[in-house]
Amino acid sequence: MPELPEVETVMRGLAPSMEGAVISTAQINRPDLRWPFPDNMSERLTGARVLALRRRSKYILAELDRGETLLVHLGMSGRMTVSGDPLGQFVHDHPAHQKHDHVVFDMDNGARVTFNDPRRFGAMDLIATDGVEDHKLLAVLGPEPLGNSFDENYLIEALKTRNTPIKSALLDQGIIAGLGNIYVCETLFRCEISPKRKARELAKTQIASLVPVIREVLQGAIKAGGSSLKDFRQANGELGYFQHSFDVYGREGEPCRREKCEGEITRMTQSGRSTFYCSQCQR
């Protein structure tokens, strides 16, 4: 599933073609994805101007001039790609319609935005803009890890009574919004913390050390256009490249890259997800 860097990358790629533009037509090719689409979705979107795009956790939010905001979740395999962009950001013309092109926006500037989702775990909803933060998917989220409200004091307080492994605690979207499996594994490696350690047993200095590293890992991934493992593509159809910088994720059995460490990367399952770490230098 795309994590914060991938969603941020897609949002930034969509912005030049969508912000300030009008959705000339909104073509909805099926009644649902993970959940049913909102009532009269095509009519509510057609003719609406996109005022601004932003990301909240793993969701893209498009504020419209009609007092509503379009919420988009990419799910496991969803892609939002742009073609025919008049700004010259994307060189390819509009492609032929594909089997899993479930939602297509034709913008008044000539751009076309296509939501393709083979596995249909994605979602879209329309929310009253003045109530966005109260939406059931957003109200439960913790602070953004790249925002000002996420700092050492916050994380120390949030984890002090958590009796779960630190890996599981960092994946809790109510504690940190948008942080996913790949980037938690990479963060814990850089901080030399075992993913098996109980969150509440970590020293305050260890918890504090996580904050700048989480930001460093996420910003590095965004700069690289995200990580492309299976389905992820940027808005221009290109792959992300951060997977080439992984220290532990997906490297089971390979030697640890930390200088003077003779360990190798181990994989285990935590809460149904693969965890990659070095048992020798992550304590």
User: What is the C-alpha to C-alpha distance for residues 14 and 104, in angstroms, rounded to an integer?
Assistant: 13
Phi, psi of 166 (to 5 degrees): -55, -35
Q: Which positions ≥6 away from 272 have C-beta within 8 Å?
A: none
Which of the following is catalytic: 3, 6, 8, 144?
A: 3
- 3 carries an active-site annotation: yes
DSSP string, 108-136: TTS-EEEEE-TT---EEEEEEGGGGGGST
Which of the following is catalytic: 55, 56, 58, 167?
A: 58
β-sheet bridge partners, residue 275: 268
User: What is the C-alpha to C-alpha distance for residues 43 and 39, in angstroms, rounded to an integer?
Assistant: 9
Which of the following is catalytic: 49, 120, 267, 273?
A: 273
Q: Which positions ≥6 away from 209 have C-beta within 8 Å?
A: 191
Q: Confirm if 89 and 82 have CB atoms less than 8 A apart.
A: yes
- pLDDT of the chain, 283 residues: tens digit per residue: 788 988 998 999 899 999 999 999 999 999 999 999 999 999 999 999 999 999 999 999 999 999 999 999 999 888 898 888 655 555 556 777 888 999 999 999 999 999 999 999 999 999 999 999 999 999 999 999 999 999 999 999 999 999 999 999 999 999 999 999 999 999 999 999 999 999 999 999 999 999 999 999 999 988 887 764 445 445 555 544 455 578 999 999 999 999 999 999 999 999 889 999 999 999 9
User: What is the C-alpha to C-alpha distance for residues 140 and 272, in angstroms, rounded to an integer?
Assistant: 22
Residue with tokens 């419209």: 64
Q: Give the chain's domains with CATH numbers.
A: 4-134 (3.20.190.10), 152-278 (1.10.8.50)
Q: What is the dihedral of CA 142, 145, 149, 153, to 10 degrees?
A: 90
- 273 carries an active-site annotation: yes
- 165 carries an active-site annotation: no
Whole-structure pTM over 0.75, yes or no? yes
- 30 carries an active-site annotation: no
Provide the token pair at 97. 């319609």
